[in-house]
């Protein structure tokens, strides 16, 4: 299996540190609001990477953190007049709901930065002892030039960085020994969450959080470290400096980064305000469609979000689900338990598409080609399965489609649940029917919704609904 390593800028053969095992760390979101669909891209992409490793029989230890102490969280807490903890807890729960709806598997461990402060303080202590860090007036800095390999991931040269960073010198950080030095520990400011440390009350810098959580849950060396490409510099570069300086070994064998989800060819981000939350998209579409849309492109390519592409993803997904519906329908009536000779030939062809799927995934997780292989398999199923087919053939082909879809995290069984948007649309239709005094149609809609577990209540403020 080959994967692109940002470190070497090449596709490399994947060789695990320990046979049959994958230790993988994916930088998680900062939780101060609902996640947007840009944040969802690494979740979906690396969940798919994990699923493929598991399909290959690897035991995957998958760790993804929540950054639950950060300026943005504190700002939001102050705006709402609640604690930072209340904000982060709320949005971790909401994020987990979104992940479940996108069929992203829960990580083996989801550490929270605020629960790992002790380990971070220890790690900073080790860096000071080894001469890689120093404290000044309650702030601890990493001595960047001391780490000889600095810049190896982002392929940046220290002197170029220095000239680019000159502005920092005049912005009040002149107590640093060098403008390239970055913060490991920052002193408490009024009204901010803080922890006791040997350097006074304060909180950790963002980069040290991941170095510590990765070490604690996966060990000093891991197989894969991943995140969006905006994390290459400075976040991952700094993680490498901290971890390798402290532990004296290579931190991660492979570094994987997803490309941006764009909108009108600009990165979707909270700060630009050009974002859709996963929740918003979930009101319009089953989030399986969003997942399928993300996987229709290679994870390293930029991907432009558009209504057209979402519609195309919806139709593509529907083709797969409809094919499995048909196979299940035919299966109910089929009887023969063994494959005919002709079916054996067709089954071999079906296996060929599975091979194509695997070849695509083995080539740096080319999910676009993997999806194409599933479409080929679906087409094959549609043209070869019929009322005359044996049970063995129908079940065999169905199992293949379900298995490959599952690697991509795509659920093939039709979801019976109505989406909120569908319910609202039916309610609006019922109101219109009533206005036209078409009570038969209005009652029909009410009963149809009731059969799906939706209870309507006519109130003075309008129609309210709830799930039974």
CA distance 124 to 148: 18
Nearer to ligand AMP among residue 180 and residue 256 (C-beta)? 256
Residue 204, SS3?
A: strand
Query: CB 251 → ligand AMP: shortest distance, Å?
Result: 17
Q: Which does 210 bind (CB under 5 to 8 A by kind): ligand AMP, Zn ion, none?
A: Zn ion
Nearer to ligand AMP among residue 215 and residue 267 (C-beta)? 267
CA distance 434 to 340: 57
CA distance 14 to 173: 42
Is there a contact between 2 and 41 (Cβ–Cβ < 8 Å)? no
Which of 52, 260, 285, 292 binds ligand AMP (CB under 6 A)? It is: 260
By Cβ distance, which residue is nearest to ligand AMP? 228
Query: CB 68 → Zn ion: shortest distance, Å?
Result: 13
CA distance 41 to 211: 22
Q: Applying CB under 6 A, which part among 110-118, 265-273, 287-295, 377-385 lies near ligand AMP?
A: 265-273
Query: CB 45 → Zn ion: shortest distance, Å?
Result: 16
Query: CB 25 → Zn ion: shortest distance, Å?
Result: 8
Vertex 43: Cα angle to 118 and 80 (nearest 5): 60
- Which helix (H) or strand (E) is 322 found in, with range? helix 307-333
Nearer to Zn ion among residue 230 and residue 362 (C-beta)? 230
Nearer to ligand AMP among residue 31 and residue 127 (C-beta)? 31
Is there a contact between 40 and 103 (Cβ–Cβ < 8 Å)? no
Which of 127, 231, 323, 327 binds ligand AMP (CB under 6 A)? It is: 231
Which of 247, 269, 382, 431 binds ligand AMP (CB under 6 A)? It is: 269
With binding defined as CB under 6 A, does residue 230 bind ligand AMP?
A: yes
Query: CB 282 → Zn ion: shortest distance, Å?
Result: 26
Residue 444, SS3?
A: helix
Is there a contact between 224 and 22 (Cβ–Cβ < 8 Å)? yes
443 phi and psi angles, rounded to 5 deg: -65, -35
CA distance 304 to 465: 36
With binding defined as CB under 5 A, does residue 210 bind Zn ion?
A: yes
Number of residues lying near ligand AMP (CB under 6 A): 17
CA distance 136 to 187: 10
What character string, x for contact with Zn ion (CB under 5 A) and - otherwise, covers 16-55? -----------x----------------------------
Neighbouring-strand partners of residue 191? none
Vertex 299: Cα angle to 297 and 303 (nearest 5): 55
Fill in the DSSP letter of residue 419: P
What character string, x for contact with ligand AMP (CB under 6 A) and - otherwise, covers 34-73? ----xx-xx-------------------------------
Q: Which does 389 bind (CB under 5 to 8 A by kind): Zn ion, ligand AMP, none?
A: none
Burial (CB count <10 Å: 0-12, 13-18, 19+), residue 72: middle
Task: Choose among 185, 188, 216, 24: nearest CA to 116.
Answer: 216
Q: Which does 51 bind (CB under 5 to 8 A by kind): Zn ion, ligand AMP, none?
A: none
Q: How many CB atoms sit inside 10 A of residue 196's CB?
A: 11
Nearer to ligand AMP among residue 53 and residue 66 (C-beta)? 66
Residues contacting 93, CB < 8 A, separation 6+ = none
Q: Applying CB under 5 A, which part among 157-165, 203-211, 277-285, 309-317 lies near Zn ion?
A: 203-211
What character string, x for contact with ligand AMP (CB under 6 A) and - otherwise, covers 370-399? ------------------------------
Binding site for Zn ion (CB under 5 A): 27, 210
What are the residues binding ligand AMP (CB under 6 A)? 27, 29-30, 38-39, 41-42, 227-228, 230-231, 258, 260-261, 267-269
């Amino acid at each position: 299996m080959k994967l692109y390593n940002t470190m070497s800028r090449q596709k490399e053969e994947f060789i695990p540190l320990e046979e049959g095992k994958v230790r993988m760390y994916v930088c998680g979101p900062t939780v101060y609001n609902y996640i947007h669909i840009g944040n969802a891209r690494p979740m979906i992409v690396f969940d798919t990477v994990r699923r493929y490793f598991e399909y290959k029989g690897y035991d995957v230890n998958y760790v993804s953190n929540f950054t639950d102490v950060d300026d943005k969280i504190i700002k939001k807490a102050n705006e709402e007049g609640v604690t930072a903890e209340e904000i982060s807890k709320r949005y971790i729960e909401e994020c987990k709901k979104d992940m479940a709806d996108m069929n992203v598997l829960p990580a083996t461990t989801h550490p929270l930065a605020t629960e790992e402060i002790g380990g971070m303080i220890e790690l900073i202590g080790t860096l000071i002892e080894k001469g890689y860090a120093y404290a000044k007036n309650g702030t601890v800095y990493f001595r960047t030039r001391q780490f000889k390999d600095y810049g190896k991931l982002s392929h940046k040269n220290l002197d170029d960085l220095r000239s680019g960073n000159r502005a920092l010198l005049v912005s009040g950080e002149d107590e640093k020994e060098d403008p390239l030095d970055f913060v490991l520990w920052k002193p408490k400011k009024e009204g901010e969450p803080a922890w006791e440390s040997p350097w006074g009350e304060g909180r950790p810098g963002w980069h040290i959080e991941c170095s510590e959580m990765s070490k604690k849950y996966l060990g000093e060396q891991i197989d894969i470290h991943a995140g969006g490409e905006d994390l290459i510099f400075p976040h991952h570069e700094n993680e490498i400096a901290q971890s390798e300086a402290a532990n004296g070994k290579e931190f991660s064998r492979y570094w994987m980064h997803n490309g941006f989800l764009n909108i009108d060819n600009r990165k979707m981000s909270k700060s630009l305000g050009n974002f859709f939350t996963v929740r918003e998209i979930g009101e319009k579409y089953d989030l399986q469609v969003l997942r399928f849309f993300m996987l229709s492109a290679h994870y390293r390519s930029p991907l432009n979000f558009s209504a057209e592409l979402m519609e195309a993803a919806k139709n593509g997904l529907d083709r797969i689900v409809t094919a499995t519906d048909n196979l299940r329908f035919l299966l109910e009536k089929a009887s023969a338990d063994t494959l005919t000779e002709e079916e054996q030939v067709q089954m071999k062809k079906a296996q060929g598409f599975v091979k194509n799927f695997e070849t695509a995934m083995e080539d740096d997780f080319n999910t676009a080609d993997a999806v194409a292989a599933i479409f080929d398999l679906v087409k094959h199923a549609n043209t070869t399965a019929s009322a005359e087919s044996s049970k063995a053939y129908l079940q065999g082909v169905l199992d293949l489609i379900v298995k490959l879809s599952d690697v991509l995290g795509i659920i093939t069984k039709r979801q019976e649940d109505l989406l909120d948007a569908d319910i609202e649309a039916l309610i609006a239709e019922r109101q219109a029917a009533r206005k036209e005094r078409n009570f038969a149609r209005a009652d029909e809609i009410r009963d149809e919704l009731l059969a799906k577990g939706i209870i309507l209540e006519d109130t003075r403020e309008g129609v309210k609904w709830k799930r039974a």
